[in-house]
Structure 1
Amino acid sequence: MPHAPVVAGEADLHTHSTVSDGTEAPAVLLRQAARAGLWGVALTDHDSTSGWAEASAAVAETGVALIPGMELSTREGYTSVHMLAYLIDPLDEALLAETSRIRESRLARAEAIVRRIGRDYALTWDDVLAQTVEGTTIGRPHIADALVARGHVATRSAAFDGILHPRAGYAQPHYAPDPLTGVRLIRAAGGVPVLAHPGTRGAERVVPPERLAQLVDAGLFGLEVDHPENREDAKPRLRELAVRFGLQVTGSSDYHGSGKPNRLGECRTAPEVVEQIIAEGRGSAPVLP
């Protein structure tokens, strides 16, 4: 039976904790959501649900509802495409196998990048590990933090604009399924898929309608239009596509704690859209105060 609690306010449906590349533990994240006046928050760490238990335990203390989620890595050619997956079954075998493969590839990629950087800068794998906690999905943000700690750059953002930018020559891709496979995996795991920040490259780089139609046929629920990194020129096009394909529009901050300038709750999802996500989710249930 679908879950249908009354959603009493807006939610921020895209956040990260120390389980992936955020700087705050899941419980701390929920406390921050309470301070931001949010009704609910979705924890969407990269390719992992490991933070769900701690976040769930903080619901009663904070009074903030939790929408369990994940940000699934997918890839379209050479372009990284992220898919938000809400209310999935965290024990779904196919999804577990795929996320395990992605995390292993992320780890191998990170080690290779550090080896390359280490030829030109004082940086070791131990420096990167020092920026993580047990169980962290290690990625480029942790390399960025290690570069900051070493004094090579001032901030994580500066690292991505410089040493970790593709033009610097140290980068390489990691394995990820294509977006169509990602949507199918999420739906098969009882989840609700939303295309994350699809306007970061501008109006001319928004997903083509023919490709979007395939994702919709596979079960895509919505587009994350209200996101601080979507370019303003792309948002009207995204809203047009949402109407054309009958997709819902979500809003989220993509909060990473101090890892990004994004402010928790600066972009939010309307209660009626959150209710629809909850009604469609079959793999897990929201955790309510």
Structure 2
Amino acid sequence: MKIDLHAHSNVSDGTQSPADLMAAAAQAGLDVMALTDHDSTDGWAPALDAARHHGVGLIPGMEVSCKTSRGVSVHLLSYLHDPNHPGLLEEITKAKDARLTRAERMVERLAEDYPLNWDDVSAHVAPGATIGRPHIADALVAAGIVADRNEAFASILTSHSRYFVTHYAPDPVLAVELVRAAGGVPVFAHPVASARGRVVAPEIFHDMIDAGLLGLEVEHRDNPPEGRAWLRKLAQQTGLFMTGSSDYHGAGKPNLLGENLTGQEALERMLAAGTGSQPFLP
């Protein structure tokens, strides 16, 4: 089976609708795909309709944006959780509201130096989507200020830029606890992707494991080879399952559907552990 457990639609920062994303999964020859939009499950219903139409399995998921007490960004993939669980929903809503306020402040700062305003950014955000820096990047590209998202994030939108604004995000240990409470399966996304910025210390991994972390996303283009080796050893020592995925964003990033895959045994462990929502497996 070809299983890709990390992909985004335009409900967050992907460029395709959930339905078009499922069509792309079918075209790529995937048997199962997970929809994991940032801090949102709004794409689940249209993705399910399209999955049934195309005969592609769908694992409903979400990517939770977290931050440690030292300010290190952590992304936690949540699969098969209850989207209406009060505790998890409260934290996600708080984070989404903070993202919106943060984006508005960043655009205000950018407007001092570039021909950019909030309407320019809003034009790149699908109705109800979780707004983020990728949408600002798309507006910068449209204005001819940068060539693509990668250039925007490497320069104007980097965390070291004077335009950067922080935002609230839950602690990763709390996020793991909430995902488990919601019947979900928490997996640490691209955990050693040092090219994205600082990565957490080993003790944070163990704190997350103690809180109920069940898997590690090992096969991901942003995890360096030596980091993948370390993750495999950690998984073997702790009994975590390992996943592989594309982190596909459509035209937003060079990642291709199916470029990294998850083994069937890991999927079976995920299905056995997740109780908050139902997968679609034709």
Q: Deviation digits for residues 17-67 of structure 1, max 9, x if unmatched? A: 000000000011111111111110000000000000000001121111000
1:210, 1:133 → 2: CA distance? 38
Q: TM-score, normalised by structure 1?
A: 0.94
Choose the corresponding residue for 1:268, options 255, 261, 264. Answer: 261
Choose the corresponding residue for 2:194, options 182, 201, 204. Answer: 201
Question: What amino acid maps onto 1:138 in structure 2?
Answer: I
- 205-214 or 16-25, which deviates more: 205-214
Distance 1:201 1:80, change over 3 A: same
Choose the corresponding residue for 1:51, options 38, 43, 53. Answer: 43
Q: What secondary structure is seen at the aligned counterpart in 2 of 1:71?
A: strand
Choose the corresponding residue for 1:178, options 171, 182, 188. Answer: 171
1:206, 1:234 → 2: CA distance? 11
Name 2:213's counterpart in structure 1.
220
1:119, 1:206 → 2: CA distance? 32
Choose the corresponding residue for 1:234, options 206, 227, 232. Answer: 227
Runs (5+) with no aligned partner, structure 1: 1-8
Q: Is the CA contact 1:30–1:62 (under 8 Å) kept in the aligned structure 2?
A: yes
Q: TM-score, normalised by structure 2?
A: 0.97
- 207-216 or 114-123, which deviates more: 207-216
Name 1:144's counterpart in structure 2.
137
Task: Check if 1:120 corresponds to 2:113.
Answer: yes
2:94, 2:16 → 1: CA distance? 25
Task: Check if 1:60 corresponds to 2:52.
Answer: yes
Distance 1:217 1:168, change over 3 A: closer
- 211-220 or 153-162, which deviates more: 211-220
Name 2:91's counterpart in structure 1.
98
Task: Check if 1:16 corresponds to 2:12.
Answer: no
2:165, 2:125 → 1: CA distance? 21
What RMSD over aligned residues (CA atoms) do the two structures have, in Å?
A: 1.3
Question: What amino acid maps onto 1:33 in structure 2?
Answer: A
Q: Is the CA contact 1:127–1:146 (under 8 Å) kept in the aligned structure 2?
A: yes
Task: Check if 1:40 corresponds to 2:44.
Answer: no
Q: How many pairs align?
A: 280
Q: Is the CA contact 2:32–2:56 (under 8 Å) kept in the aligned structure 1?
A: yes
Question: What amino acid maps onto 1:60 in structure 2?
Answer: R
Choose the corresponding residue for 1:165, options 135, 141, 158. Answer: 158
2:211, 2:151 → 1: CA distance? 38
Q: Deviation digits for residues 133-171 of structure 1, max 9, x if unmatched? A: 111101000000000011101101111111111233111
Choose the corresponding residue for 1:250, options 232, 243, 250. Answer: 243
Task: Check if 1:286 corresponds to 2:279.
Answer: yes
Name 1:3's counterpart in structure 2.
none
Question: What amino acid maps onto 2:227 in structure 1?
Answer: A
Q: Is the CA contact 1:114–1:143 (under 8 Å) kept in the aligned structure 2?
A: yes
Name 2:81's counterpart in structure 1.
88
- 211-220 or 48-57, which deviates more: 211-220
Question: What amino acid maps onto 2:35 in structure 1?
Answer: L
Name 1:4's counterpart in structure 2.
none
Deviation at 1:234, TM superposition (A): 1.0
Q: Deviation digits for residues 211-244 of structure 1, max 9, x if unmatched? A: 2222112110111010011122211111111111
Q: Is the CA contact 1:213–1:245 (under 8 Å) kept in the aligned structure 2?
A: no
Deviation at 1:206, TM superposition (A): 5.4
Q: Is the CA contact 1:209–1:241 (under 8 Å) kept in the aligned structure 2?
A: no
Q: Is the CA contact 2:72–2:200 (under 8 Å) kept in the aligned structure 1?
A: no
1:265, 1:171 → 2: CA distance? 32
Q: Is the CA contact 1:206–1:234 (under 8 Å) kept in the aligned structure 2?
A: no
